[in-house]
Amino acid sequence: MPEHLLASLLIALIGGIVDLDSTATWQFMISQPIVAAPLTGLFLGNLYGEAAAGLKLGLMVGVILQLVWIEQLPLGMNVPPDAALASVLSVALGFISGHSYESYSEREVCYTVALLLAVALGLLGRSLDMFVRRLNTNLDTWVCQKVEDNSLWAIAVGHTLGGFFTFTKAFIFCFLVVWLGVEPLKYFTQTLSFKHGSGFIVVQGLLPAVGFAVLASMVLKDREETRYFIGAVIMFTLLPAKIFLAFIAAGIVMYRAHKGAKK
Amino acid sequence: MRTLPRTLLARIAFRSFFLQASWNYRGMMSMGFLYAIRPGIDQLHSPGPAREAAYLRHLEYFNTNPYFSSIVMGVTLALEERLSRGEIGEEVIHDTKEGLMTACAAIGDGLFWDSWRPFVATVALVFALGNYLLTPLIFLALYNLPHLYFRFAGIFWGYREGTHVIRSLRQFQFPQIRQTLRLGTMVLLAYLIPNHVNVHTPFLLTNLPLEYFYFGEKVVQGFGALLLVTLGTFAYRARVDVLLISFLLMIFALVLYHWGILI
């Protein structure tokens, strides 16, 4: 089987499973970008004999998409952008199209363009999700009629069909995007001047700021907290960048908050 | 006296993993709810009109937090059991389920979507940006501890305590937990901003003595990142779309790179 076809099928399968987790079943959160993207990178990297490179790309993509869509919640009727499919497709498109380039900067351009493209695909994924939910609405009406007619088998069949629609939607979508999308992406990145490739690396380095801004909007409630927050940012600017310092500080603040709440 | 065995309740909790497989705009999770509790209904009502009526009763609109759904399932089964003994009427089940699903949605969504997921995601981001390849596993392990706890313990509480289950839930003091998690997220975010937004400029290399270069670079990166995040936060709070913010940041970075201000 040609390698590209095999990769497309693998991504379609991962996309289908991961998309099932996002709302339809389990909800273990393997559909979160921070998990879905590295998972895709690991499997794809194994296929191409570059597991570590795939995993690192997955982590980079996972971090950015996790941050950008951290506030998107599946509450009630709200259907958020399909972060799971965006993560899988971003890694797949970036890795496969970047695989054919030798230099670091050329690959990075592919990764960044694929990331930006995947954000748009995440929005398209949301439309597909809404389409599946409309299909499920017809299914629900059908099941109600069947139960009224005493055909009780319809409950399990209807419910399973709902999950099947979700999986099939993601499977076909991922397969088509990877199967048809890699070559145009390669062509597009070739038309970009690679001498400015480092500019895309600068973009990649700054993109987390957008996600941090979203997260800051979520967690900062008033001016006093904002002042403390800015103080903490300055403190961590001056301290060495050690992870344990972050967790110690978080632990102290959480302990004090918990104790204060008890009082 | 309770008649449903523990193994059956555990089986129903397991089936609740598939609650949203057929999520739709009419009954939302109704088909999934009925699918999950069906073994319990079959045990409580003998075949015939009573069982059929129970099926139709639970095909009515249902929507709650998926992790807290098993609590509602437990309470519903306790009430179905009382109905089968003729102690209550159907309307009690309808009203209780409606009230409980709303309460569980409010508590569960607030806890999991608004507090726990952002907190765990931020912990994972700290690890991911520190290049820890096991980050996805850390995320999954941490996130799913309370998920699985509420999923499996919930059905037993609900079934044992019936409508008094809300009193047990109050003991958790969810508002305080949410506040503590929010503050923890804030501290970790304060660590991430100066350390993982890459703002590098060539001016320091040419203008600073080498012994001050590292410190100067760290200060510029920290304050540059804080400035970017502040601007992003203002834009996001002014309801500018996150994708537009990302796009503007990309243009801004490419222009500054072109002028040689950022490297």
Model-level pTM? 0.94
Q: Is B40 on the interface with A (CB under 8 A)?
A: no
pLDDT tens digit sequence for B154-207: 999 999 999 899 888 888 999 999 999 999 999 999 999 999 999 988 888 788
CB A155 to CB B31 under 8 A?
yes
CB A62 to CB B117 under 8 A?
no
Percent of chain A's residues with pLDDT above 90: 73
Q: What is the SS3 assignment for B62? A: strand
Which has more pLDDT, B66 or A80? B66
Chain B CA closest to residue A35: B136
Question: Mean pLDDT across the stretch A6-17?
Answer: 97
Residue B43 confidence (pLDDT)? 95
In angstroms, rounded to a whole number, what is the distance separating the alpha carbons of residues A37 and A63?
A: 9
Q: Kindly indicate the confidence band of residue A194, based on its pLDDT and cuts at 50, 70 and 90.
A: low
Contact B224, B197 (CB under 8 A): yes
Q: What is the SS3 assignment for B45? A: coil
Question: Mean pLDDT across the stretch B79-93?
Answer: 95
Residue A96 confidence (pLDDT)? 95
Q: Is A248 on the interface with B (CB under 8 A)?
A: no
End-to-end CA distance of chain A: give it in Å, rounded.
Answer: 66
Shortest Cα–Cα distance, A1 to chain B (Å): 31
Chain B CA closest to residue A252: B184
Q: Kindly indicate the confidence band of residue A107, based on its pLDDT and cuts at 50, 70 and 90.
A: confident
Alpha-helical regions (H) of chain A: 3-19, 33-47, 51-68, 83-99, 104-148, 153-191, 197-206, 208-219, 223-238, 243-262
Residue B258 confidence (pLDDT)? 86
Q: Is A212 on the interface with B (CB under 8 A)?
A: yes
Selected residues 161-200 of chain B with any CB under 8 Å from a CB in chain A: 173, 176, 179-200
Residue A193 confidence (pLDDT)? 61
Chain centroid to Cα A132, Å, comes to 20
Beta partners for residue B28, in sequence order: B24, B62
Q: Is A155 on the interface with B (CB under 8 A)?
A: yes
Residue A101 confidence (pLDDT)? 85
Residues of chain B in contact with residue A27, where contact means CB-CB under 8 angstroms, are 17, 20, 66-67, 147
Which has more pLDDT, B174 or B2? B174
pLDDT tens digit sequence for A142-156: 999 999 999 999 999
Contact A30, A48 (CB under 8 A): no
Residues of chain A in contact with residue B202, where contact means CB-CB under 8 angstroms, are none
Burial of B137 (0-12, 13-18, 19+ CB in 10 A): middle
CB B235 to CB A213 under 8 A?
yes
Selected residues 122-151 of chain A with any CB under 8 Å from a CB in chain B: 133-134, 136-137, 139-141, 143-144, 147-148, 150
Contact B151, B16 (CB under 8 A): yes
Amino acid at the residue B124: A
- Predicted confidence (pLDDT) at residue A192 exceeds the cutoff of 80: no
- Predicted confidence (pLDDT) at residue A262 exceeds the cutoff of 80: no
DSSP characters over B17-41: GGTTTT-BTTTBTHHHHHHHHHHHH
In angstroms, rounded to a whole number, what is the distance separating the alpha carbons of residues A140 and A132?
A: 12
Q: Is A70 on the interface with B (CB under 8 A)?
A: yes
Chain centroid to Cα A14, Å, comes to 12
Q: Is B235 on the interface with A (CB under 8 A)?
A: yes
In angstroms, rounded to a whole number, what is the distance separating the alpha carbons of residues B35 and A156?
A: 6
Contact B92, B31 (CB under 8 A): no
Chain B CA closest to residue A236: B191
Shortest Cα–Cα distance, B2 to chain A (Å): 26
In angstroms, rounded to a whole number, what is the distance separating the alpha carbons of residues B123 and B145?
A: 15
Which residue carries 């065995």 as its tokens? B5
- Predicted confidence (pLDDT) at residue A75 exceeds the cutoff of 90: no
**Out of B27, B32, B232, closest to residue A213 by CB:** B232
Q: Which positions ≥6 away from B167 have C-beta within 8 Å? A: B161
Q: Is B237 on the interface with A (CB under 8 A)?
A: yes
Question: Mean pLDDT across the stretch A10-32?
Answer: 95
Contact B80, B3 (CB under 8 A): no
Residues of chain A in contact with residue B117, where contact means CB-CB under 8 angstroms, are 29, 32
Residue A198 confidence (pLDDT)? 75
- Predicted confidence (pLDDT) at residue B121 exceeds the cutoff of 60: yes
ipTM here: 0.94
Q: Region of B262 please: left (phi>0), alpha (psi -120 to 50) or beta.
A: beta
Question: Mean pLDDT across the stretch B46-67?
Answer: 94
**Out of A198, A221, A233, closest to residue B194 by CB:** A233
Closest CA to A106 of A178, A199, A3: A199
Percent of chain B's residues with pLDDT above 90: 80
Q: Is B44 on the interface with A (CB under 8 A)?
A: no
Neighbour tally for B255: CB within 10 Å:
12
Selected residues 84-103 of chain B with any CB under 8 Å from a CB in chain A: none
Residue A108 confidence (pLDDT)? 85
**Out of A27, A116, A140, closest to residue B26 by CB:** A140
- Predicted confidence (pLDDT) at residue A195 exceeds the cutoff of 70: no
Residues of chain B in contact with residue A253, where contact means CB-CB under 8 angstroms, are 183-184, 186-187
Residue A196 confidence (pLDDT)? 61
Contact B39, B121 (CB under 8 A): no
- Average pLDDT along chain B: 94
Degrees, nearest 5: CA angle A106-A62-A230: 105
- Predicted confidence (pLDDT) at residue A214 exceeds the cutoff of 80: yes
Q: What is the SS3 assignment for A28? A: coil
Give the C-alpha distances (Å, rounded to integers) separating A107 from A87, A187, A199, A233. Answer: 17, 13, 13, 33
Residues of chain A in contact with residue B113, where contact means CB-CB under 8 angstroms, are 73-75
Which has more pLDDT, B196 or A103? B196
Q: Is B14 on the interface with A (CB under 8 A)?
A: no
Q: Is B144 on the interface with A (CB under 8 A)?
A: yes
In angstroms, rounded to a whole number, what is the distance separating the alpha carbons of residues B18 and B20?
A: 6
Number of residues that this document lists for chain B: 263
DSSP A256: H
Question: Mean pLDDT across the stretch A94-123?
Answer: 88
Angle separating helix axes A208-219 and B117-129, nearest 10 degrees: 150
- Predicted confidence (pLDDT) at residue A197 exceeds the cutoff of 80: no
- Predicted confidence (pLDDT) at residue B1 exceeds the cutoff of 60: yes
Residues of chain A in contact with residue B225, where contact means CB-CB under 8 angstroms, are 209, 212
Contact B62, B27 (CB under 8 A): yes
* Cα dihedral across residues A192, A193, A197, A200: positive or negative: negative
- Average pLDDT along chain A: 92
In angstroms, rounded to a whole number, what is the distance separating the alpha carbons of residues A197 and A237?
A: 29
In angstroms, rounded to a whole number, what is the distance separating the alpha carbons of residues B39 and B34?
A: 9
Q: Is A249 on the interface with B (CB under 8 A)?
A: yes
Q: Which positions ≥6 away from A102 have C-beta within 8 Å? A: none
Closest CA to A59 of A80, A32, A85, A79: A32
In angstroms, rounded to a whole number, what is the distance separating the alpha carbons of residues A216 and B227?
A: 13
pLDDT tens digit sequence for A31-66: 999 999 999 999 999 999 999 999 999 999 999 999
